[in-house]
Chain A
Amino acid sequence: MKFLFGVTLSCYLLGMAKYFLYLTIRRKILFIIATVFIAAGFVFHTGILVLRSIETGHGPYTTTFEYYTFFSWAIVLVYLVAEVRYKIKDLGSFVIPIAFISLAYAVFQSWHTETTEPVIRFWLTIHRTLSFIGYAALTLTFGVGIMYIIQEKQLKSKHLGAFYYRLPSLEVLDDINKKAVDVGFPLITFGFISGIIWAWQRDGYFSLDFKRTILMIITWTIYGTLLVISCMSCYEHHRFRCKSQDSTCRDQGEVSLWRKTCRGIIECPPKIP
């Protein structure tokens, strides 16, 4: 297991270094090598999680070591999905470091195992899986957010440096962010709910870890507000275009279920002519 850990960390480190190098030297081969390293690291990483789960008899959700290992895995998973979907070559430089740090941090944690009662294991598994993949999606928004800020600064300052040419357009970054929130927000919401059920099942009464709950509520509120604001903006724009009989009115694009629901909440029923 320690060997697998070393290999995974090395893969991520090498992949990350190649992504950084790609930022300065635009050689496609660097990007390809980087992605191969990350994908190979991901395979080994999955191996670690499987071995650990076999060893403990439950998913990797109970100790700090397991949290960070799983969280890191989820970030790489979300990154790879985004990479395949959007083909933004510089995304890796902004997201993979977070996964690497998370995994490196896990190494310094105690490797002891904990057992859980099979009765509450179901809700614990649901709670932690949903939460961590949700957090990973939101971590992606963090990386993409930094890219957005850099690109916006370049455009505003009118001094167009290397990043202006290398980073994608604001619209594309905004779009990835919206989609990541679309996926991440429901996941952390259900994660939150299943967490309450799990805590209730474990203790037999309604008990919440104060520190975690507060942090959770803050995160949830921030992303919830973001989602509502962006939905409203999107909806208003759409409504305006339809009012002005714009030809793009019918072109709704990929509107997620959440956004449709959001529209419903803001103005129900939607008066789209």
Chain B
Amino acid sequence: MNVLQRFPEIKEKVILSTCNRVEIYARVGNVDEGVRSLKDFIYKYHRIHDGELENYFYTYFTEDAIEHLFKVSSSLDSMVVGEPQILGQVKDAYTYAKERKATGMILNQLFEKAFSVAKKVRTETRIAENAVSISYVAVELAKKIFGELEGKTVMIIGAGEMSELAARHLISNGARNILVSNRTFEKAVELARELKASAIRFDSIEDELVRTDIVISSTGAPTFIIKKDMVERVIHQRRNRPIFFIDIAVPRDVEPAINEIENVYLYDIDDLQHVVDANVKEREKESQKAVKIVEKEVGQFLNWLDGLEIVPTITALREKAEAIRQKELEEAFSKLGSVSDKERLVIDNLSSAIVNKLLHTPTMNLKKQIESTDGHWYIKVVRHLFDLE
């Protein structure tokens, strides 16, 4: 940030750097020079030869840049749409820049708006509602069965990486009593030590199931380890308290028929994947709604931005009209030769009245339209039509 402060062309700046994106949001004096300065900064800062990264840059201006920032903070531009971390990262980047006085009126307003858009997207759409990874889905399901996972007992069968990951998720969600079982007892003891759990013998699984609420199974066994008759006995002993089996083994460790038993819930890896797929689709559907919200907000922000431009635009328009009038008057007077003061005054007033009356309606309409959603277009059109750039 300190290096970037040295570039005079860059008036305001925020650097957003996450694991898969580096973006610089800037207000510049001259667009071309501004872009060049930003690229120079990146090359110099990272000590890379000029032009080497040219293919990896993307540049957005005004409207597209605003839309991009709104989409980034609303997590519409993330690899996993709807993930919650990005908003925090954008906030951190902005706070960092603001504390170093690198932002001004425009970027302050832009980022504050981006946060409110992100909040709006989150509350008005269900973009972040459903889990989109297998272990999160498993935790969500467990919560729908048991409410809070606080004090629930989890049994891990098979000391594999997948079961360890799922177990860690359950632990971070409050599950406290963890039992680890493996055909090789030593491996169970090892994993149990890592998870601060207790290791149990493979042949005592049925006995321990009576006090277990969630079972995660992922052994390489060719046949079922948990069978229907076993679970029927267990559920009877448990007095019908619910039990949730998560079978992430291929081939299956848990007999699918146990799902027919009352108060027994079984999800295998394919079931969990189906839920994930459905949730991803749901998020995509919701993201379309979110894009609409973003577009509307971009329009509003542009109007604010153009509001800053409207006064200069009208002034420029009037100045231009006045200049034309003066020029034409001079030409007319020189052609007429001797004109009395009274006649000169009448002609002057006439030309001034024509210009004023001609400009009155467009000026009023411009002021009125600037408040509508596509007001920024009017400014563009006026500037273009009268060549006010």
Contacts and interface: CB of A to CB of B under 8 A. Distances in A.
14 contacts: A155-B144, A158-B275, A160-B275, A164-B144, A169-B144, A169-B147, A170-B146, A170-B147, A175-B147, A233-B239, A233-B240, A246-B177, A246-B211, A247-B177
A220 B143 CA distance: 33
Contact of A158 (B144, B240, B241, B267): B267
B146 to A, nearest CB: 5
Contacts of B274: 158
Interface stretch (A16-24, A187-195, A197-205, A236-244): A236-244
A165 B130 contact: yes
Interface string B250-277: 0000000001000001010001001100
B126 A151 contact: no
Contacts of A107: none
Contacts of A164: 144
A256 B376 CA distance: 66
A178 B148 CA distance: 17
Interface in B112-164: 126, 129-130, 141, 143-148, 151, 153
Max count, chain A CB within 10 A of own CB: residue among B145, B239, B265: B239
A151 to B, nearest CB: 7
A110 interface: no
Contact of B239 (A168, A171, A172, A236): A236
B278 interface: yes
Given A26-B126, A158-B271, A169-B144, 10 more contacts: A151-B144, A156-B259, A169-B147, A170-B145, A232-B239, A237-B238, A237-B241, A241-B211, A247-B151, A247-B176
Interface in A225-265: 232-233, 236-237, 240-241, 244, 246-248, 251
Interface residues on B, range: 20 to 34
Nearest to B144: A169
Nearest to A253: B151
Contacts of A251: 151
B177 A240 contact: no
A126 to B, nearest CB: 36
A172 B177 CA distance: 21
Nearest to B143: A169
Interface in A48-92: none
B34 interface: no
A240 B210 contact: yes
Contacts of A171: 145-148, 242
8 tightest Cβ-Cβ pairs between the two chains A and B: A233-B239, A171-B147, A169-B147, A248-B151, A236-B239, A172-B147, A169-B144, A158-B271
Say what secondary structure dominates the interface of chain A: helix
A169 B145 contact: yes
Interface in A174-221: 175
Contacts of A168: 147
Contacts of B275: 158, 160
Contacts of B238: 237
A232 B241 CA distance: 11
B311 to A, nearest CB: 38
A165 B126 CA distance: 11
Contacts of B146: 169-171
A53 B326 CA distance: 91
B241 A155 contact: no
A68 to B, nearest CB: 35
Given A165-B129, A171-B146, A155 B265 contact: yes
A170 B144 CA distance: 6
A155 B145 contact: yes
Interface string A1-40: 0000000000000000000000000100000000000000
A248 B148 CA distance: 14
A82 to B, nearest CB: 16
A244 B198 CA distance: 13
A80 to B, nearest CB: 22
Interface in B184-240: 210-211, 238-240
Contacts of A170: 144-147, 242
Interface string B4-21: 000000000000000000
B211 A240 contact: yes
A244 B207 CA distance: 11
A194 B146 CA distance: 39
A239 B240 CA distance: 15
Contacts of A241: 211
A270 B234 CA distance: 23
Interface string B271-296: 10011001000000000000000000
A246 B211 CA distance: 9
A11 to B, nearest CB: 28
B123 to A, nearest CB: 8
A160 B275 CA distance: 7
A155 B238 CA distance: 20
A158 B266 CA distance: 9
A156 B211 contact: no
Contacts of A248: 151, 177
A168 B143 CA distance: 9
A155 B243 CA distance: 12
Nearest to A170: B145
B126 A155 contact: no
A21 to B, nearest CB: 16
Contacts of B141: 155
Contacts of B130: 165
A233 B278 contact: no
Nearest to B207: A244
A171 B176 CA distance: 18
A231 to B, nearest CB: 10
A3 B354 CA distance: 68
Nearest to A235: B239
B265 A156 contact: yes
A169 B143 CA distance: 7
A36 B45 CA distance: 60
Contacts of A247: 151, 176-177
Contacts of B147: 168-172, 175
Max count, chain A CB within 10 A of own CB: residue among B126, B148, B151: B151
